[in-house]
Structure 1
Amino acid sequence: MTSLIQIAAEQKSAEVTDWAARIGWVVGLLLFIAFVYWLMRQGWKWRGSLQSDLPELPAVPEAPGEARLELTGRYHGSTTAGQWLDRIVAHGLGVRSRVELTLTDAGLEVVRPGARDFFVPKAALREARLDKGIAGKVLAEGGLLIVTWTHGDKLIDSGFRSDHAAEQAAWVEAINTMSTPNSTTEGTAR
């Protein structure tokens, strides 16, 4: 019994933590994280200034016509066509958001709550396809609806994901039908 009392008497409490050093490290780490976020923001702004030659996005016309298709889902961003990692951030095209798409005879209306809405005129639509990825988002094959369109002199891919993935195939067919050049009398006397 005396040995237990001796062992208990010999034990000391743990050393007191050096709070000044610990607080210094925590503050230093928080400053480093803030600096990294600041650098990321500066990079985003720099990318936007590099893309400043992109014209303003078209506004939705007052009478866009009757809706052919409607979709709700997510907007995942826009990239330079064919370069799925070259994100376009100018004019808010890089901001992810919820989306309500409406396809009319006039074009594609993109309504984004909390972000900037835009309109893609029928003449600017080039094609649509199902793909697996766009800058910052990769899904299963065919998980994203990619709409290719022209804006200014730039060809753009915009990525959307429907709340109901089965309806994306109908969008591909409808947009590709709309963007197919009709037989016209172009180049002939009128």
Structure 2
Amino acid sequence: MTTAAVVRAVAATATAAGQHSAPVTHWGGRILLTLLVLAVLSGVYWLMWRGWKNRAARQADLPVPPSTAPEGSELGDAVEGVYASTTTHGDWLDRIAVHGLGVRSNAWVRVGKSGVLFEREAAPDVFVPAEDVESVQTAPGIAGKVTGGEGLIVLTWRLGGRVLDTGFQPRAKGDRARLIDGVDALLTERTKG
């Protein structure tokens, strides 16, 4: 018996038994499932967008922070890193949605007697005047950036009637102590004067 004869015999037996090969694709079911997944994803993105807009509306009373240091201010060397976000003081997940304060970006921080300047890529710069700086400390995270340990520097400051926390992670570990010392010196200088 040849191979072709064996294949015909098996096919005839399967057909006689009422067995048929399974359909390759159920197009209707696949299209319906794809539309359902797209609808769910669209709904989730719409809810996220709406939540962000509602958060921004709740924070609309927050004034626009200055974006430049005063004329003639001497600021120290820039420390490169990541501007994580700004949140309400004491609530590390309550990200500020207005004025670009909640936007994560690459940044350079410069500290001087006049205050702290965050020079950011793809977001407005933020200048914190010396009189508005409350404290500086390390933390394991803030909304938008969790480092574990104490890898994040958190600057606590006032804007309008609110107290805020801004998280920054220097690229080099050695810059962490230098940045904290610079802000501490600013606070010490302010209390003297």
Q: TM-score, normalised by structure 2?
A: 0.86
Per the alignment, residue 169 of structure 1 pairs with 177
Deviations 1:7-46 (A, max 9, x none): 3553743314221221121022112101110110110110
| 1:138 matches 2:146 | yes
- Alpha-carbon shift at residue 96 of structure 1 (Å): 0.7
Distance (whole Å) between structure 1 residues aligned to residue 119 and residue 175 of structure 2: 18
Secondary structure of 1:32 counterpart: helix
Residue 188 of structure 1 corresponds to: none
**Structure 1: distance between partners of 2:44 and 2:148:** 31
8 Å contact 1:68–1:105 — kept in the other structure? no
The one-letter code matched in structure 1 to 2:92 is: W
Alpha-carbon distance between aligned partners in 1 of 2:131 and 2:64, rounded to the nearest angstrom: 17
Matched, 1:94 2:102: yes
1:20 to 14, 28, 35: 28
| Deviant stretches of 4+, over 4 Å | 1-5
Give the Cα–Cα distance (whole angstroms) in 1 for the partners of residues 158 and 168 of structure 2. 17
In the alignment, what sits opposite 1:43?
A: 51
Gaps of 5+ in 2: none
Deviates more, 1:132-141 or 1:49-58: 132-141
Matched residue SS, 1:119: strand
Structure 1 residues 64 and 95: CA distance shift in structure 2, 3 A: farther
Matched, 1:182 2:185: no
Aligned residue number for residue 187 of structure 1: none
- Counterpart code for 1:23: I
Please state whether the residue corresponding to 2:102 is helix, strand or coil: coil
Identical amino acids, percent of aligned pairs:
36
Contact 1:144 1:161 in 2 (8 A): yes
Give distance in 1, aligned partners of 2:70 and 2:154. 26
Other-structure match for 1:128: 136
Displacement of 1:121: 0.7
Q: CA deviation at 1:52?
A: 0.8
Q: What is the identity, as a one-letter code, of the residue corresponding to 2:107?
A: V
Return closer, same or farther for 1:72/1:64 CA change in 2, 3 Å cut-off. Answer: farther
User: In the alignment, what sits opposite 2:168?
Assistant: 160
Which blocks of at least 5 consecutive residues in structure 1 are unaligned?
A: 185-190
Cα offset for 1:126? 1.3
Read off the aligned partner of 2:63 and give its amino acid letter: P
Task: Answer with 1 or 2: which has the greater Rg.
Answer: 2
Is the 2:83–2:168 contact (alpha carbons within 8 Å) kept by the matching residues of 1?
yes
Alpha-carbon displacement from aligned partner over 1:94-138 (angstroms, at most 9, x marks no partner): 111111111122111111111121111111111111111112322
Q: Which whole-Å CA distance do the structure 2 matches of 1:183 and 1:176 have between them?
A: 12
Contact 1:76-1:97 within 8 A present in 2 as well: yes
Is contact 2:118-2:125 (8 Å) kept? yes
Name the SS of the counterpart of 2:99 in structure 1.
Answer: helix
CA RMSD of aligned residues (A): 1.9
Shift of 1:173: 1.7
Counting matched residue pairs gives: 184
